[in-house]
Structure 1
């Protein structure tokens, strides 16, 4: 299986596209035949017309009213035909029970593929800003009071950002700064601090609320050197209740009780003073002026510049007593919606997967049921990110052949009470947070019977990087199948909730989940920004028995970047079946599956079955107190897997045209992120970074790292191809001057359309000579099959005076030494997570001795040795 789309698995097409138009007609669902009761809508229509083909109405509300008058007693499906063009929204189209199908027939809102439901306001009248070469400005359009997103020809622009220009010392209400720089900014209260989390890799300065989060808090004021942060975001991010008798363990049991790294933000965003890179923008709300630094080739006199204004585009608003039902939305594109809550004093105090702690003193009570006095129930009921398109208490609602792109919250939310919904043949990309949300965690009516099939989700989340492609909360009888999910910042699919009490020896939170299936999905290039997640992540009770527990089957999951697992069964995950999957190129586990079952005092593990998977982990068959591992096969490469298994995962044949559809004009990639350095000798640095997962419409071809001295002068650079970086996860910059250090490093990404803006810089580091060798790896194991074996080990406890950048493996059959490089080498080291590599080409029934040695800039250290005999025959 290729590691970059399906045999060109995906080509994020480089063919251009006028903003708001998906290339080509809707290919997956032919428009239904017009009937006399059908309603026709056109942006050029007239709401005084009768809604016929020759006399279409203009607005979606007028079409809805005509449907409402006709839908009471249907004898056939009623179709609302939406002509090509843009339907601009200030408020969502709201449908309720009165707008539903009847007598077993549906109301179908049918677009053409070129039908755009837009919450944008076009920004025009651009002119150069005097005294600021390259900077342009325009009057904010009427009705645009605030936004968090701006798009130029469908390409997301970056809110102006940069390093915090002062040294900060945390206080109870914010910070004391080393100077009054921020107080002299035009509008310091517009600024937002971003706390980038992640595994502590090299000298990257990271804070946050757990390595799976990226919280944000606005600045309330900057007066002199006193910076006051907005409330309640600040307290919700720093005062989370901890158990008095369990040091460091929060009552939420999810992450730390306060911002780590001394509360220091990784960078600051949204200030005029930070406008210094092409593609950056800023809205001055006081003067109602939009500023933008164009990218190379952009002509603001001709470009379609859209500011996202509406917060919701469609709202299926049913109730438990009167659900909205039997409605289909097909061939529509939902774009240019925002979400303004993070810009308010609530901020974005993330806890996991886009859920946040909110409200005054939310830190003290929200979702802390039974663990603190006044804690709200159920446990872990925090605030979910909203969807720009949403349905509540909807039955038999269908989304097919739609595009969810250029959105500022979650893309689609199938919330409380959603039953028998279907999401098919649709694209989710360029979304700020979660792609698709199903159900919730508030203990209300769960979602059920939802099918998510043959969709392409990629290039997300773009702003709230702890978001996931598909988020499934408390649900039952849901199926997530035959989707392709690639190039995402964190986990691809996340299911379940409420399992964290097992951290203190309590059983997982009871919930209504059961009979959910995740099957035949293709997932790759995931966790490209954050850590502690997986391709498929599950936690909490999944059912009442192995029979009705969650089934994860037939998925192909490969090429993970962050610290995590292919299939991650986290706290309290009970009654999980992981069968028949192909799992490779994870950082330290293909399946993480052992957790104590605290529902009784027997000391067993949560019942879990790991069976008949193709993997690299190589764990032997056995029954570990209810954790059953059986029939799994070691794979040395994808060629070991029957091709029909690989070919069955991902989009089915009729839907593979989705991989060729475009949603924006081609552009340069987004910059890489989280640049870290370590010494590579007296005059050199090793550089690593998170690769660009939003590639601008064509694959990233390579990266260039540039080193700068203390004066800001560039002193060296080194390019690396994307293929080579995938293999090594390193760039080596040599020839650094003996004076002028320490050095900071930035990285750019390049594709067929040019180079990105530079990344944020690494922390400063001066190279040093490396002479002390690392220690030997520990706990070596050789897990054998007939013709292959998995070599597993743990990084050395002592690394000498440099970081481990690789391993050298030797095999007693005389083959050349095997060099082990890659992202897992780097991310497993700080937390001493185990590693593994598969050695293929072995003979059955043969004894082999294998050694593994760590490699640093000082050279290879002493080796650890292990001997084992391969199985006599293949199973």
Structure 2
């Protein structure tokens, strides 16, 4: 990631970064290994020969041959056995399968050592491009031999977008799919290739919520389209629409996670993977029947010279240990894992998401999967849904180490250290451009939990690219795991997700028993998270985390800031028990720094789940106290980052020896990904306010600005307004004025720009006709002033009704005569529809002084009446 993409926190240690050299860690590892090469070591080269003996002078060619030779030597090691992989690309059609026979012995490891330029690839090159007659700008090529399907295409290391666009018909949901307003989709070249995507999120402004919860983005393929009848693929359709609800609790699913069916009458947000939608540079389509790839090049791309890769293999490395025969003592260093796909979402199962990449699967999965004691025939344990696979994966792996590696251009989860993983490490590695979760640890299926996994000094960013409800690090039921000194930034949903199975507290039942204990999330730097979906956090955790406060989960000394969606810095969700949140720096969240209070249903005493929130630097300002087991103590209000001791800030994130990771650029030069979720609100008779989710995939340089464009019902552009990225970060708004007084409604698209170019346009907003705004909003409610000696947190509840325009800000006045404080930002927008609490810190106060503070909502109509609160600062 380029240096200029780092947040202000990282500038405090810029002098240390200047000492780093890109790739230095991996290169040093390779040099050290070469220096200590043993006569038993093996050598592999893309130019080698599998009939050779694997010596330095006569390397073998394939990873499989190197593995087989290593098996003959691994049983009686007296030193580490290193398999030296020369620079270059090693193409796999099947995964490198490792089992107990491939393990190190005698306390020594089998080390797969790359150079930093060693690529383990599941891709097939696409060559032979030619222009498509009658379609200016569109090119095609024969699909590579053996490629029957893929969901990802990359051009010079840059992910291309599967052809997508607005649903071209009006859909009315039926039991098996939809009735369409016309037969347009039935006339698609291959309707059964097309996939409906249901984007979720907070219903703010002129945006529809179409998924299975604000944290999900399910997908289902069309099975057939005949006339106006659209039949959806099964079981995806039923698994997304028939989830069992409690008969005596209206709207509450037995899963207790999200709705029982696709919301908004099941309307799809957009449609993807149809030839007819190929209309933007950077889009592609695989015609499986004709065995041909279509692509519309971006500006500057030359397909005669470009390296075009279709992801083909679904796994690159598959570690198949068992309880009785674990795979163990293996290391991977200096390798890059790329160009793998995942085809299940393209099939009948689709992607019926529950949370964090877990899905409901199987015929009638909606009726029984993971529902345990709550339905007859329910499978256990509760909430044991289907986990997204990893393109690199290990089950029952012990002492498996990944260091100085890159996981990029991948189509499922990047790395899965699954059931039975023990005493393994992931360090000094990069995770980016991954379709789903970055790193997965353990599982939730009740089998052997992961234990002793250490995830340290990694950089995870620019993900998930396809399944936007994915997270950077997903940790299930585990013990003694540590997630420390990582930098996680520019992610679509939560950064770290811990635990599972706490949802039964929604109906007054205790969280699902599980083996988790002694896990910690510490010293991480997390920022620019939840940039696409809502209801998550920088660290999201739920369920029983241990057996006592002593062995419960610890979230300590992290720096977490700049959340975009609706959520919290540290989100202690349902059933989160024995949680410690201590010594963190938490700021710029939407409505809470720490969400903590849940009733403990393990007994009938009415206490809260035991939780300690201590000694954090935050903006929330909640007073000290013991609320039936929820202990809040010693937290400090911060007015600015400069209030926090510099050593606390400097210690978070990558340690000095690993900060060169931030300098590395993965993939070729590229413009940003398009913004998403464009919404509009009236800004007067001739203007619209526009908001959108920014591009969390910034490309090869930071986003410098955005441009919003308005179109009338004929598709003619009628307005345009640019905004810098810095101004948009501050306001979350663009005012698009000078629109025609007639000719509405108008739709709006947004593009993002960086030093390498401009993104494709976003999907268009819903149509809206601007109107004059004359009715002022009512006053906010429940104002509170949480005081300290020289600062106070002003908290209030947004008005639920806003007159004839939406709230775009608040105005705060302080009785000491200072200028009014104008409150703006994304939290203003996302908290208003559901009346989530807002807060802002007021600094520069005097100890022991009484202050009166007012807060008023602002809309296009003006500033409404104020709510008033008076309090005295502490001495």
TM-score by length of 1: 0.98
1:291-318 Cα offsets, whole Å, 9 max, x none, are 0000000000000000000000001111
Separation in 1, partners of 2:383, 2:643? 42
Instruction: Report deviation, 1:4.
Output: 5.7
Query: In the alignment, which residue of structure 1 is the partner of 2:695?
Result: 692
Alignment of 1:159-174 (within 5 A): 159-174=162-177
Alignment deviations for residues 713-748 of structure 1 (CA, whole Å, 9 cap, x no partner): 000000000000000000000000011100000000
Describe how 1:689-768 pairs up with structure 2 within 5 A: 689-768=692-771
2:474 to 471, 476, 480: 471
Matched, 1:854 2:857: yes
SS of alignment partner, residue 26 of structure 2? coil
Which of the residues 368, 373, 376 maps onto 1:373?
Answer: 376
* Cα drift, residue 192 of structure 1: 0.1
Q: 1:52 to 1:293 in 2, by over 3 A?
A: same
Question: Which one of 531, 541, 545 corresponds to residue 528 of structure 1?
Answer: 531
Out of 544, 548, 555, the position equivalent to 1:545 is 548
- Change beyond 3 A, Cα 1:299–1:9: farther
In structure 1, C-alpha distance between the alignment counterparts of 2:731 and 2:8, rounded to whole Å? 16
Unmatched tracts of structure 1, length 5 or more? 14-21
In structure 2, the partner of 1:571 is: 574
2:10 is aligned, of 3, 6, 15, to: 6
Aligned equivalent of 1:244? 247
Q: CA deviation at 1:6?
A: 2.0
Q: For 1:27-38, what aligned pairs fall within 5 Å after superposition?
A: 27=27, 29-31=29-31, 32=33, 33-38=36-41
* Residues 25 and 112 in structure 1, CA contact (< 8 A), matched pair in contact too: no
Is 1:305 the counterpart of 2:308? The answer is: yes
Paired with 2:345 and 2:827, the residues of 1 have a C-alpha distance of 33
Q: Report the CA distance between 1:265 and its aligned residue.
A: 0.3
Distance 2:125 2:12 in 1: 35
1:241-390 correspondence to structure 2 within 5 Å: 241-390=244-393
Deviation of 1:3 after TM superposition, in Å, equals 3.7
2: CA distance, partners of 1:339 / 1:61: 22
Secondary structure of 1:405's match?
strand
Task: Give CA-to-partner distance per residue, 1:471-497, whole Å, 9 cap, x none.
Answer: 000000000000000000000000000
| Residue deviations 1:427-452 (CA, integer Å, cap 9, x gap) | 00000000000000100000000000
Partner of 1:213: 216
1:602-627 deviation line (CA, Å, top 9, x unaligned): 00000000000000000000000000
CA distance in 2, matches of 1:798, 1:226: 40
The RMSD of aligned alpha carbons is 1.3
User: Contact (CA 8 Å) 1:557, 1:583: kept in 2 or not?
Assistant: yes
Tell me if the contact between 1:4 and 1:10 (Cα under 8 Å) persists in the aligned partners: no
Aligned to 1:806: 809
Q: 2:97 aligns with which of 94, 97, 100?
A: 94
Q: How many equivalent residue pairs?
A: 863
Cα distance, 1:5 vs structure 2: 6.9
- Are 1:592 and 2:595 matched, yes or no? yes
- Give the drift of 1:510: 0.1
Residues 724/554 of structure 1: CA separation in 2 closer, same or farther (3 Å cut):
same
| Counterparts of residues 556-635 of structure 1 (less than 5 Å) | 556-635=559-638
Structure 1 residue ranges, 4+ long, deviating more than 4 angstroms after superposition: 8-11, 22-25
Secondary structure of the 2:29 match is: coil
- Correspondences of 1:48-67 after superposition (within 5 Å): 48-67=51-70
Alignment-derived partner of residue 781 in structure 1: 784
After superposition, what is the alpha-carbon deviation per residue over 1:649-708, rounded to whole angstroms, capped at 9, x for unaligned?
000000000001111111110000000000000000000000001011100000000000
**CA-CA distance at 1:29 after TM superposition:** 2.4
* Alignment partner, residue 423 of structure 2: 420
Structure 2 Cα separation of the partners of residues 6 and 801 of structure 1:
43
Match of 2:830 among 821, 824, 827: 827
Kindly state the Cα deviation for residue 30 of structure 1 after the two structures are TM-superposed: 4.0
SS at structure 1 position matched to 2:75: helix
Cα separation, 1, equivalents of 2:313 and 2:51:
26
Alignment of 1:461 with 2:461, yes or no, is: no
1:845 CA displacement: 0.8
Q: Deviations over 1:134-182 (max 9, x none)?
A: 0000000001000000000000000000000000000000000000000
Which one of the candidate residues 184, 202, 206 is aligned to 2:205? 202
Which shifted more, 538-547 or 64-73? 64-73
> C-alpha displacement at 1:219, in angstroms?
0.2
What is the SS of the residue equivalent to 1:26?
Answer: helix
In structure 1, the residue matched to 2:413 is: 410
The within-5 A match list for 1:619-658 is 619-658=622-661
1:703–1:749 CA contact under 8 A, matched in 2 = yes
SS in structure 2 of the partner of residue 61 of structure 1: helix
Equivalent residue number for residue 111 of structure 2: 108
CA drift at 1:26: 2.3
Q: Which residue of 2 aligns with 1:26?
A: 26
Is the CA contact (8 Å cut-off) linking 1:749 and 1:756 kept in structure 2? yes
Rounded Cα–Cα distance in structure 1 between residues aligned with 2:747 and 2:10: 37
**What is the distance in 2 between the residues matched to 1:488 and 1:202?**
23
Contact 1:461 1:468 in 2 (8 A): yes
C-alpha contact 2:454 2:483 (8 A) present in aligned 1 = yes
Change (3 A) 1:336 1:681: same
Q: Distance in 2 between matches of 1:2 and 1:814?
A: 37
- Number of the residue aligned with 1:146: 149
Does 2:854 align with 1:868? no
What is the TM-score of this pair, normalised by structure 2? 0.98
Q: Hey, what's the Cα distance between the residues in 2 that align with 1:599 and 1:298?
A: 61
Structure 2 unpaired stretches of 5+: none
